[in-house]
Structure 1
Amino acid sequence: MAAAHIVGTFAVWDYVVFALMLLVSAAVGVYCAMSGGGQQSSQDFLMGGRKMTAVPVALSLTATFMSAITVLATPSEVYQYGAMFILFTLSYSLMVFVTSEVFLPIFYRLGVTSTYEYLEMRFSRAVRLCGTVLFIFQTVLYTGIVIYVPALALKQVTGFDLWGAVMSTGIVCTFYCSLGGLKAVVWTDVFQLATMMAGFLVVIIRAVLLHGGFSVIIDDSQKGGRLNLWDFDPNPFKRHTFWTITFGGAFVWIGIYGVSQAQVQRYVSCKSLNHARTSLYLNLVGLWAILLCAVFSGLCLYAIYQDCDPWTAGLISAPDQLMPYLVMDILRDYPGLPGLFVAAAFSGTLSTVSSSINALAAVTVEDLVKPYISMSDRKLSWISKGLSLFYGAVCIGMAAIASLLGGLLEAALSIFGIIGGPLVGLFSLGIFCPFANSTGGLVGLFSGLGLSLWLGIWGQLYPPYHSEPLSLSTAGCNFTVNPGGQNWTQSLVHSPLTTKAALEEKEYSAQLVDGWYSLSYLYFSPAGAITVFAVGVIMSLLTGGKKLKLAPELRLMKEDLTCYCLYNIFKQKAMNHGGELDLKKCREIGLGTNNPAFCSSELDLTQRKAESNISSIFSP
């Protein structure tokens, strides 16, 4: 693979802006560690004392979603395939609604610290351990890649020191996670989200001014076929359609927001159920804003390089380098602004990695230490901090391993979604099927995981035929000499992935494998989830699941639904029977500090329900 062409180098002010971002992030960690009496217990460290409010948690949820891979890869996706990616706004909406109404009420009512505690309450310790191990595996692998891949892309285009970036971000992130715990993670996420948005907006504003205005970019994108938003083809083998993005994408993101520790840990740390729900919906607005910025950045890329594709021309060696190339191309005469974009990209890295480290420490303490070793809460707090240091080092080490993986990086990234689908199926089985037992859960989990891994791995080895980018051109390139030293004497109009050799290779691959290997990657997650659910139901019924007596707190109840709460309030007001009192109670519960986890951890589930009035005030 050819080396990328370095458009420009960082100036002093660019390094100053990047260093300032790291310094502020570290300072926030120190402040959170020292304020409010410090981290006195493992709950303070891992859950922020369960007193977090909606707005910072919402911003943290959004920042965690927006990794550096999002900053670099989403605009590249739009540049190559078009703006259909904007339809993820619909899948985000479905995800937030399902998470708020189905998963959040149960996790919040039970007062869990680790999401996988629910699996032991509902099934068995073996099922819980399986969920924990799967989470640790996918998170460590993904986090290492999140650290390394953006650093590599930025280094090859800007000349930014690769391992200096990897080590500095990894060390700073580990430092404030280990010192300040969840509070530090949440508040640094707020700062980092602001930095990321600033980086996006600087690039967008400069591109719009350079290209003659917003309408010109939209018009050029329309002529180039990039505004291909509506494709209702039900073919499951097409890479992106309305159906694959909306419904397949919803499953993928429910796996992240609904059951993944990194996200669940934030909203269950809120001081009330209302704050937790509000954080999810505020986060939805943030997701829409980020996606809009990323998609429009991709349209800016196309408008500027529609006649001279840097990839086809050999100026970059991978699509992820398109955004750094654009930044250095249009902002190199403005010292500090390229540094702001790089700070934005690495803010994405910091927010994702810090969330992962904190979540890894939480599940290790709750799932692998506390059930087997009895110790004081003070000692658990120190163990949590030590685990944060340990996982920080592991993630940096994983970044080093990622540098040796080469072409396997894309396959490794897919595992994040492939594992999430079966876990969604497992949690859904427990929530919706009162007869589901441990045997059904285990057999279903391994069946769904096996199917999604099979589809994912073979799908990477034999990519779908329906995945060629839209046409790109080098007809307008003005080079006297290209990076390879050859004169440009003719116009080239083709897509970098649709050369004759590439097409022949894809045709050959299609002959080797069955059509199911060409299933859209967004359907891997629902395929795994549905398999777990179906197999789990069948196995549970075959192994005596109907005899299972399940505590009502472990499954979704009508009192958990927002619509049922509103129905009762309006019903009582209409009947003039205590409606005003219940409405007042509803507001108190929503806004007060009533996190059920403040109940003694020794209470059993029945007692916990009796003492918590979150749901009982809505009973008929």
Structure 2
Amino acid sequence: MQSIIFDYAVFLLLIALSFAVLIYSKISGPKEQTKADYVFASKGSVSMGAMLLSIARGFLGVKVFLGYPSEFYYRGSGMWETLYGMSLAFPLVLYFFLPVYFNLGITSVYQYLDMRFKSRLVRRLASATYFIRSILNLGVTVFTPCVALKTVMGLPYWFSIILITSIAIVFTLLGGLRSAILADAVQSLVMIGCSIIIIVHGFFIAKGPLNVFEVTKERNRLDFFNFDMDPTIRVSTVSATLGQLFMSLSMFGCQQNFVQRYFSMDSQKQVEKALWLTIPLMIFLFSLSWIVGMVIFTVYADCDPRALGYISEIDEIIPFYIEDKFYFLPGFMGLVLASLFNSGLSILVSNLNSISTVAWEDFVSQIPIFKGASEKNQLLCIKSISVITGFIVMGVAFIVAHSSGVIDASQLMTSATSGPLLGVFVLAMFFPSTNWKGAAAGMISSHLMTLFIVIGSLSIAKVPEYLPVSTEGCTNTTFSPHIEPIFDVQYEQYKMSFINKTHDDLAFSSVLSSPEFKSSPKDDILTMLYSITYMYYSLLGTFVTVFVGVIVSYMTDLWSKEESTNEDLLHPMSLKVKSMCTGEKQRYVTDGKHNNGPSTLPMTNEAQPTPLSSVFTVKSN
């Protein structure tokens, strides 16, 4: 009883401290007098360390602490290899994306597409893609800490979801990007500390790191370098690397909330330094969560709590483990719960900031009644959009509560929306002869193709891919004294429900072996297409966008010399390749005056915030 009181006290105290950090940053930091101050944070107001932690946390999210350990425990190390794709993405973003649009002076990264294709349709398609993806992923972010709160405190999902989103809305109204970055940094440090404590204590219980490695290897949890090319396998080394590479490129190179962080730094060199330093930090944070999973699996290797009915969902294993093994440390559970709660909160706040900015710049500001709004009114509108978006995220979180796990839900949503977004930026930067018709057709085709596969996959019978777990080593002392035992009647009821839930012919014995992933017989092309793992959705989506975009652009005759493009909006490499392949001297435009007199290249009807001149000179390469 005393331990529970400590846990609640620590939980409430840390929630209060989060408010204190927000208020302190608002009082001590530069005043947010304009829209740019709120959106980007004042230049130099955020340290390099805080920025690194914020970028890493923005990508990994709350799932790094709760989702990945349970993924390892019940499915093995397959998803661990997504780290290869993540790490490869950073150098590519540095070389291909930053040189093109870092100094454009824009508030929405999708303004770049407007400038490149001179089309609001393409810009809005990209913005809508980002908006939808962010909403879906934020639903996962909000739901993740709710799992722990339900497991330990008994709080129903609906209460936790409403609580987190409501507080996030208040945070968003009080502070901009600077507050969100500082909150990300603080929560990252707390989560790292909690993970290290769990690992060190787990090594002690499991008789050392060597035994942890041996047990996890013996029970087939360490399955690296699986180069099976079967596209229907949930995750292999190939799909993990390629799929995550395209997802990461889409996120770090084309997503507003990350590019927004780049723009808040003083110079491009600082951004480059930050991204290079993020690679080892990402590897450390990512691997830390998987080691936590290794430790917990070793401790419960012969007595799985889920097989016995102590937990019902795989993502509940972390909070159950802490409740079971850290009863001697009053307040630690409260610390972990508060960290999960605050982490979800800070990620939600920073993303609401980005989403509302995109919604304002690309949609709301074009409504006649809002045109010509003052800076103060623009800031008020952005905050109002944040409130509305927060309630939408709340609704999505309720839907996520019915998914099969936070990792599956997060990866599916990210992969399904990454292809069209990455593809249109690839078209813009590396295919000088593509036009807005091709870009729009490519994005729409990619979305329709991905949606077709996702909906079709729901018709394919699939059994969750869980590895074998055991109960043959359970004793009266396996769990801590304060963990209430499950009575025989309850156990028998859970046993039958577990059998029916997993598979009709699943035998319940001392070793529970959940069935391997199986799909319907691949007797036709559609069934094979529907069976493709979601890890490849981003790759397929990118390919379709680029392929259709190039073909449609060619068919609409953009290859004629009548069209000219500002070469500052293209990657230098694409200009050289174009010249080498065609043997033509392509006409581009640069700042200055037209060789036949002044000429203005129309961008859009909106007021342009970029430093690029509206008067260009046509030159030959």
TM-score normalised according to structure 2 size: 0.82
Deviation at 1:190, TM superposition (A): 0.6
AA of the residue aligned to 1:98: L
The reply on whether 1:550 has 2:557 as its aligned counterpart is no
Aligned counterpart for 1:268 among listed residues 239, 254, 263: 263
Match of residue 531 from structure 1: 544
Matched residue SS, 1:544: coil
- The change in CA–CA distance for 1:222 and 1:408 in structure 2 (over 3 A counts) is closer
Aligned counterpart for 2:42 among listed residues 44, 49, 58: 49
AA of the residue aligned to 1:485: Q
CA distance in structure 2 between the partners assigned to 1:205 and 1:499 by the alignment: 40
AA of the residue aligned to 2:454: G
Match of residue 590 from structure 1: none
Alignment of structure 1 residues 395-474 onto 2, 5 Å: 395-400=393-398, 402-403=400-401, 414-462=412-460, 468-474=465-471
CA distance in structure 2 between the partners assigned to 1:496 and 1:345 by the alignment: 29
- The change in CA–CA distance for 1:221 and 1:495 in structure 2 (over 3 A counts) is farther
Match of residue 376 from structure 2: 378
Aligned counterpart for 1:18 among listed residues 11, 14, 38: 11
Deviation at 1:291, TM superposition (A): 1.1
Aligned counterpart for 1:353 among listed residues 343, 348, 352: 348
Q: Is the 8 A contact 1:418 1:525 kept in 2?
A: yes
CA distance in structure 1 between the partners assigned to 2:356 and 2:226 by the alignment: 43
CA distance in structure 1 between the partners assigned to 2:75 and 2:539 by the alignment: 23
Q: Deviations 1:470-492 (Å, cap 9, x if unpaired)?
A: 2211111236855743579x9xx
Give the CA RMSD over aligned residues: 3.2
Q: Deviations 1:472-520 (Å, cap 9, x if unpaired)?
A: 11111236855743579x9xx9999577368699455766961222222
Can you give the 5+ residue segments of structure 2 that lack an aligned partner in the other structure? 477-484, 507-513, 577-606
Deviation at 1:18, TM superposition (A): 2.0
Match of residue 85 from structure 1: 79
CA distance in structure 2 between the partners assigned to 1:297 and 1:187 by the alignment: 26
Match of residue 100 from structure 1: 94
Deviation at 1:401, TM superposition (A): 5.4
The reply on whether 1:29 has 2:22 as its aligned counterpart is yes
Deviation at 1:47, TM superposition (A): 0.6
Match of residue 584 from structure 2: none
Alignment of structure 1 residues 52-451 onto 2, 5 Å: 52-123=46-117, 124-160=119-155, 162-372=157-367, 373-400=371-398, 402-403=400-401, 414-451=412-449
CA distance in structure 1 between the partners assigned to 2:430 and 2:303 by the alignment: 54
Q: Is the 8 A contact 2:226 2:236 kept in 1?
A: yes
Q: Is the 8 A contact 2:133 2:417 kept in 1?
A: yes
CA distance in structure 1 between the partners assigned to 2:76 and 2:316 by the alignment: 17
Q: Deviations 1:544-579 (Å, cap 9, x if unpaired)?
A: 121331101111125999xxxxxxxxxxxxxxxxxx
Deviation at 1:608, TM superposition (A): 10
Matched residue SS, 1:76: helix
Deviation at 1:101, TM superposition (A): 1.4
The answer to which of 58-67 and 343-352 deviates more is 343-352
Q: Is the 8 A contact 1:56 1:186 kept in 2?
A: yes
- The change in CA–CA distance for 1:24 and 1:557 in structure 2 (over 3 A counts) is farther
CA distance in structure 2 between the partners assigned to 1:336 and 1:555 by the alignment: 55
The answer to which of 421-430 and 10-19 deviates more is 10-19
Deviation at 1:412, TM superposition (A): 7.8
CA distance in structure 2 between the partners assigned to 1:397 and 1:431 by the alignment: 36
- The change in CA–CA distance for 1:77 and 1:483 in structure 2 (over 3 A counts) is farther
AA of the residue aligned to 2:542: A
CA distance in structure 1 between the partners assigned to 2:252 and 2:615 by the alignment: 25
Q: Is the 8 A contact 1:315 1:483 kept in 2?
A: no
Alignment of structure 1 residues 522-601 onto 2, 5 Å: 522-547=535-560, 548-557=563-572
Q: Is the 8 A contact 1:71 1:348 kept in 2?
A: no
Deviation at 1:535, TM superposition (A): 0.8
- The change in CA–CA distance for 1:511 and 1:303 in structure 2 (over 3 A counts) is farther
The reply on whether 1:516 has 2:521 as its aligned counterpart is no
AA of the residue aligned to 2:34: S
AA of the residue aligned to 1:84: G
CA distance in structure 2 between the partners assigned to 1:320 and 1:202 by the alignment: 20
- The change in CA–CA distance for 1:81 and 1:171 in structure 2 (over 3 A counts) is same
The reply on whether 1:39 has 2:32 as its aligned counterpart is yes
AA of the residue aligned to 2:328: D
CA distance in structure 1 between the partners assigned to 2:307 and 2:238 by the alignment: 31
AA of the residue aligned to 1:32: S
Match of residue 476 from structure 1: 473
Q: Deviations 1:276-329 (Å, cap 9, x if unpaired)?
A: 112222222221111111111111121011111222222211111111111111
TM-score normalised according to structure 1 size: 0.83
Q: How many residues align?
A: 560
AA of the residue aligned to 2:28: S
Deviation at 1:391, TM superposition (A): 2.6
CA distance in structure 2 between the partners assigned to 1:406 and 1:85 by the alignment: 18
Deviation at 1:248, TM superposition (A): 1.4
- The change in CA–CA distance for 1:204 and 1:601 in structure 2 (over 3 A counts) is same
CA distance in structure 2 between the partners assigned to 1:527 and 1:79 by the alignment: 30
Q: Is the 8 A contact 2:415 2:534 kept in 1?
A: no
CA distance in structure 2 between the partners assigned to 1:228 and 1:399 by the alignment: 32
CA distance in structure 2 between the partners assigned to 1:447 and 1:242 by the alignment: 28
The answer to which of 600-609 and 411-420 deviates more is 600-609
Matched residue SS, 2:78: helix
Q: Is the 8 A contact 1:193 1:347 kept in 2?
A: no
Matched residue SS, 1:12: helix
CA distance in structure 1 between the partners assigned to 2:291 and 2:504 by the alignment: 28
Q: Is the 8 A contact 2:460 2:531 kept in 1?
A: yes
Deviation at 1:157, TM superposition (A): 4.5
CA distance in structure 1 between the partners assigned to 2:516 and 2:278 by the alignment: 44
Matched residue SS, 1:225: coil
AA of the residue aligned to 1:69: K
Q: Deviations 1:577-616 (Å, cap 9, x if unpaired)?
A: xxxxxxxxxxxxxxxxxxxxxxx95566247999xxxxxx
AA of the residue aligned to 1:553: D
AA of the residue aligned to 1:437: N
Deviation at 1:139, TM superposition (A): 1.8
Match of residue 505 from structure 2: 500
Q: Is the 8 A contact 2:72 2:294 kept in 1?
A: yes
AA of the residue aligned to 1:170: T
Q: Deviations 1:45-77 (Å, cap 9, x if unpaired)?
A: 001134445332211111222322332221111
Q: Deviations 1:349-397 (Å, cap 9, x if unpaired)?
A: 1232112111112112221244451122222222223333333343334
Can you give the 5+ residue segments of structure 1 that lack an aligned partner in the other structure? 1-7, 562-599, 611-620
Deviation at 1:228, TM superposition (A): 1.4
Aligned counterpart for 2:490 among listed residues 485, 491, 506: 485
CA distance in structure 1 between the partners assigned to 2:182 and 2:409 by the alignment: 32
Alignment of structure 1 residues 599-618 onto 2, 5 Å: 605-606=612-613
Q: Is the 8 A contact 2:462 2:517 kept in 1?
A: no
Matched residue SS, 1:121: helix
